[in-house]
Each structure stands twice: as C-alpha cells, then as structure tokens.
Amino acid sequence: MKLFHLGAAIALSGLMLAGTARAEVKELRVSQQFGIGYLPLQVARNKGLFEKHAKAEGVDDLKVSFVTLGGGASTNDALLSDSIHIGTGGVAPFLAAWAKTKGNLDIRGVAAITTMPIALVTTNPAIKSLKDFTDKDRIALPSVKVSIQAVTLQIAAEKVFGPGQHDKLDGLTVSLKHPDVYAALASGKSEITAHFGAPPFQQQELLLPHGHKITDSYQALGGPVTLNVAWAKASFREQNPKVFKAFIAALREADTFIAAHPDEAAKIHLIEEAGSANESLVLSIIKDPESVFSVAPVNTTKYGDFLFRTGQIKAKAESWKDLFFADIHGESGS
C-alpha cells in the first residue's frame, strides 16, 4: 500500500474503531526505524521510562513493545491497521498520513523526537553535484517518494533543476534499509552509488573510499529541520490519555538524560541497536551542536508547504500546531 493511497485502509480502520470507548491499553505498541535519530526512544526503553511515567499516571504494569520497520510507508500501514499505536519516523510520511486522515481518523503528531541533518552521500568520485547523477546511478533511501529522505531529495532537486523538476531524480531512487545500504556501499560491488541516509550511517559512509557529501536537509531547507517525529490516531489519544501523557513525559526525561549524560546515551544506543558504528563516532554525533533531542518540532511546516505546493498532499497546515496534538502546543515549535 502506498502512503498516498490510504483510502481503503482508512475506511477499514474507521470501522474497527466503531463502538464504545475502551480502557487504557495494557500493552503500548510503538514502531521505530534505524539510527541515532531514534535515540530518545532507545534511552526511554533502556531505562524503563515509559513504564515509570505510566505508573505515575496510574497505569500499572504497562508493557511496551517495539517493532522495527524499514520506512514511513510500512509505518503508516501498521498504524492504520492498528498493529501499532504510535508510529515514529520522518516528517514526510507523517505529513502524508496527517493530510490523508484530516477530518476522519485525524492522525496528528505526538511529539518531535530529533532534529538533525540527513545527508546524501556518494562513493562515486565523478559525482560532485545533483546534476552529475546519470541513469547508471542508484540512490538508496528508506521509501521511494514517501520517506523524509525522498522528499528532501525532491526539495534539493527543485533548487538545482528548477520549478516542476522536483522529481527529476526520483527514477534513480530505490527503497532499502539504512544498514543494508551501508553494507552495499562498503562492499563496492553494488549498483547503488549513493545513499540519502541518517546518522550514524552517513558519517560511516563518509569514511569509505571516495565517500563525500552532495547535500543535506539543512542545506536543502535553509536551516535546521526536525528529522523524526511520533504520530498517532486521535482515537488512541482519546481512549488512552494516561498512556499518551506518559509517552511524552518519557521522551522529555530521555531528552534531559541525553543532554546531561551523552557518554552513557552513546552506550545505550549501541546496546539498543547493534550495528557497526563505534562509540566515539556515536558520541560525536550526539554532541554535535546540529543534533537536538527535544519534543519541540522545528520547521515541520516547510516540508508540509512543499508537499502541498507540489500536489503530494491535499491539506495545508496554517501552523505547526495544526499538525500536532495540543499536548505539546506549549513548546516553542515551528
């Protein structure tokens, strides 16, 4: 199911929601993907913060289950089918789900997770700019056309090739999980020559022979932008106000912990997500001034405005508060 064709799933989900209100869930199901962009979730899970704050709200013995998904399309599929309660991932697939369900399921943002740049890295020495990609190149990213990487590539392409040319490079993109792309580039034997990825994979790829950056999200959008957010159906928030509140409180405590204990946070990332990154690299990313771990979204409407202008979503947010539930409206978001 493609992210922009969710009608059947929405109708089915609406039927499943019919009936009386339920008691708060005893098992919270949350999706995650790969990389340091999910560090607050990893810290909260490792330190039992979701359960701690649920208990403080009067929900004892909450079980929290995590499912790792490969991209935004599968995240939205899982959310619409009620396989998960809260989805996490890039801003672009969240915005598509928000626009498609506006006025029915009313999916909205729960909180931002991280604000950090994502980069387009290539190991092809002949490629110096977006104009140098040819039909022989393949650009890997989590979900073709749907992921935050795919939309950021479109924004960057429009700047280089001009209005109406935002999809100029879409034909070169392929869907692949971040760890698999890094392995492919490291092997030097793959048709994949570039990766629009995320930390720490992009930093690792820059260390490969001929690895170099073409652009990143901060360059494409003219400043810091939130990478990952959490989103959910309005019905879940309405039926589970205590668990919902506990989830946000856990993220806030995790953010505070990361700021105060970056060294331990780096160790937690390596425990929670086994990979090839080393501790010093992870720590350098966490301590990078461009990496911000906060529930406050940053410039999310820039992505929304682009998707609306190019006809990829059919609703326009007047402000970031249109996109997120009121629980974080007190934040200095954008």
pLDDT digits (tens, 9 = 90+) for 44-81: 999 999 999 999 999 999 999 999 987 888 999 999 99
Encoded tokens for 333: 């978001």
Q: What pLDDT, in 10s, does the model give residues 227-253?
A: 999 999 999 999 999 999 999 999 999
210 & 62 share domain: no
**Hunting for tokens 């490629």 — which residue is that?**
127
In a domain, 110, yes or no: yes
Q: What pLDDT, in 10s, does the model give residues 246-294?
A: 999 999 999 999 999 999 999 999 999 987 789 999 999 999 999 999 9
Expressed as residue numbers, the domain containing 313 is 7-12+24-116+225-328
Encoded tokens for 134: 């040819």
CATH classification at residue 62: 3.40.190.10
Distance from C-alpha of 259 to C-alpha of 262, rounded to nearest angstrom? 6
111 & 123 share domain: no
In a domain, 1, yes or no: no
Distance from C-alpha of 197 to C-alpha of 268, rounded to nearest angstrom? 21
pLDDT of residue 22: 58
Of the candidates 182, 204, 221, which is a domain's last residue? 221
Of the candidates 178, 203, 221, which is a domain's last residue? 221
- Specify the range with the lowest mean pLDDT, choosing from 9-23, 131-145, 282-296: 9-23
pLDDT at 8 over 80: no
In a domain, 2, yes or no: no
